A and B are shown apart, each in its own frame.
Chain A
Amino acid sequence: MRISLFITCYNDTLFPETGQAVVRLLERLGHQVDFPLEQTCCGQMHYNTGYQQEAMPLMRRFVEIFCNAEVICVPSSSCAAMVRDHYPKMAESTGDTALIQAVNNLLPRVYELAELLVHKLGLEDVGAYYPHRVTYHASCHSLRSLHLGDLPLRLLRKVRGLDLVELQDVDQCCGFGGTFAVKMGDVSAAMLADKIRCVEDTRAEVCTAVDNSCLMHIFGGLHRLRAGVRTVHLAEILASSEEGAGQ
């Protein structure tokens, strides 16, 4: 299958290792990965902060770049949710019938990574090896927008060597919330403190998720506290193999 990667702006800039892992994983599974270089940002930050007008050209841009893709993989549930939950309404508001049609045609081909692997490719065992104690944080968008349910856990359970330990209050927000973390920094910090307590209680060395945004937030707190826990995107765990010696 030819899979077009929408890496997302912050993964591209801040977490290149996640994109590299997606490429490595999908190629290992026998697929061809394509990365349209014109891509930038889905517009989520603008849209959610109240700058809906500024998000409009970014939506149009995304649709133009990916309208002919066979399948689009987004290794970020919040960006996938932005496309799925908000693009139809945004397109509708323009009254542009061609755009509305293009968005409707595009949506069924947009997959978050775990969705792509389990639903589209029918896989749970992706041949990964990761000999570490890992806990999984369910990001809000993965849980309540994309309704991923236990898809990421099903993938993790099939990873050889991985010791999966359940996170308490897994459905509670970590306090990131995009600009929320700076606009309401103190409340966000209180929420983060709760999340960190749960992560530390697992005695895991790695906390994973399908969103680097939440992980950046959780790790920001863990590192400040020298907690000795690192955060790793699900893609990187799934891309690890015995040959790669795990990361």
Chain B
Amino acid sequence: MSIRVGQAAEAPPFQKAALPLLDDTQLRKNVRHATNVITRKRAAVVGEQHDWQQLRASASAIKEHTLRHLDRYLEQFEKNCTAAGGHVHWAADADEANRIILDLIQQQGGKEIIKVKTMTSDEISLNPALEAAGIHPHETDLADMIIQLGRDKPSHIVVPALHKNRQQVREIFMREMGLNELGDRPEDLTTAARNYLREKFLRVKIGFSGANYLIAETGGVCVVESEGNGRMCLTLPETLITIAGIEKVIPTFRDLEVFLQLLPRSATGERMNPYNSLWTGVHKGEGPQNFHVILLDNGRTRILSDQESRQTLRCIRCGACQNACPVYRQTSGLAYGSIYAGPIGAILTPQLFDMQHAQTLPYASSLCGACYEVCPVKINIPEVLIHLRGRVVREQQSSANLEAIGMKVMSRIFSSRRTFESAQRLGRLGQWPFVSEGWVKHLPGMLGNWTEVRDLRPMPAQTFRTWWKNRQKQKLKLEDSPGTQVSQKPGLKENHHA
């Protein structure tokens, strides 16, 4: 099954994409600063929540339960949303979703839409699809707007412009808004954004949003945000179109209690999101009178069918794993060639998209486990990464590669004491061409990546097991010779060699 993936398909492998980013000192400073600030704030508000671990367990259980009965809850949502005056559409993939959205906009004769932050619309490359049809999408989330105006790519799930600082934002605003003067204080930048956006909020008749939660019990939709720009898009236009991945459904209204505590604390280090918008269908004389929801599959049922990696679909897009990830913190999200970056991106992207570079993403982790530790829905990301690595290895098995051969040989070596001990002897003999003045400073092939910045101590003259065997022999000898006491600290002297 091939899925449309927009520009992401041509992304280079992670290790290549990371190189220019590692050299971008401004970006690294920005990312380090932003992730440090959010991580600190998160730790403070998580620390004050005494039942944090129980909340995580509840959220994880609710999501697991929902995923097991996804068909039932989705149909329940459709029924209740429709009864409340909404229209529900089902999209199997990105193309179908884009077609439905385009049709809905064209039926209204719309030429522009105002958008609430939605990762899912980026997943299906909605903006390029609309622009190709002559429709202009205006991003209204401040960070998304910065990305759109700067013709940049999002680098974070929650804070897409995290890699830009105030001075860079100022430059983009001045250039794109045609301003002659602008300060770089937060209030200068938000005032410029407000002036730029307010006119659009009042003029454009079609709003577009993602969804944080779909509530099966009521047919309601929930969107949380920080700025209030989302609230404008959700209430002012005549038509509202919402797109949501099918995993966004939760069974009952009451379940929100758990998620509305976990999400803001995990995402932005806030106790509560400043804006929590909840609406159910259409209300006469109030808000949009024409409401559509598109339920998007786009590879999700395929993930659901894999028992090992199904937990990926619990994700509530908080971005805590990105802020905690030591790999993400060095490269930003731009190295992942996908809107879903960081640890969650490293497991979600290869499962959603058939992209060549996605094969490298499960390896873009040192398996340090920081992501799992902070995940509010307890996705064991390292476990899924290892599972996906296994899939990559199996898929590449047909082509003989050095790594696979090496791994197979190593496995054979470890399969018996005899082969292991022979390999230790051979290794010690074979290492001499690489040892100079007592150190290994250059290794061939892929191992050269190690010696590029790190020295390596050569294999010592004696392995542990040789030392042990000699020591046992000595012990026996001592025990055999009459009148000699066995030393209390046998082999002590030998400990200080090498």
Contacts and interface: CB of A to CB of B under 8 A. Distances in A.
Given A16-B464, A41-B414, A49-B389, A192 B367 contact: no
Nearest to B388: A50
Contacts of A96: none
B366 A244 contact: no
Contacts of B488: 27
B32 to A, nearest CB: 9
B364 interface: yes
B420 A187 contact: no
A244 B490 CA distance: 13
A175 B449 CA distance: 13
B439 interface: yes
A179 to B, nearest CB: 8
Contacts of B454: 181, 189, 192, 217, 220-221, 223-224
A9 B369 contact: no
A50 B392 contact: yes
B367 A180 contact: yes
Contacts of A68: none
A17 interface: yes
A191 B366 contact: yes
Interface stretch (A51-59, A97-105, A111-119): A51-59
Q: Interface residue tally of chain B, by bracket?
A: 35 or more
Contacts of B462: 16
B50 interface: no
A45 interface: yes
B330 A191 contact: yes
A30 to B, nearest CB: 10
Q: Interface residue tally of chain A, by bracket?
A: 35 or more
A40 interface: yes
Which of A171, A173, A223 is packed against the most chain B CB atoms within 10 Å?
A: A173
Contacts of B424: 12-13
Contacts of B366: 140, 173, 175-178, 180, 188, 191
A28 B465 CA distance: 20
A79 B454 CA distance: 23
Contacts of B420: 9, 40-41
A185 B449 contact: yes
B109 to A, nearest CB: 49
B465 A46 contact: no
Nearest to B472: A35
Contact of A17 (B14, B368, B453, B498): B498
Interface stretch (B15-23, B252-260, B349-357): B15-23
A73 to B, nearest CB: 13
Contacts of A220: 450, 453-456
Nearest to B408: A54
Interface stretch (A18-26, A120-128, A202-210): A18-26
A157 B454 CA distance: 31
Contacts of A178: 366-367
Contacts of B364: 184, 187
Contacts of A9: 414, 420
A168 interface: no
A41 B488 CA distance: 30
B363 interface: yes
B367 A185 contact: no
B8 to A, nearest CB: 20
A65 to B, nearest CB: 10
17 contacts: A20-B495, A23-B468, A37-B417, A40-B415, A50-B386, A50-B390, A61-B414, A144-B368, A144-B370, A175-B366, A177-B368, A183-B15, A183-B363, A184-B14, A184-B364, A191-B326, A220-B454
Interface of A: 7, 9, 11-21, 23-24, 27-28, 35, 37-41, 43, 45-52, 54-55, 57-58, 61, 140-141, 143-145, 171-173, 175-192, 194, 216-217, 219-221, 223-224, 239, 244, 247
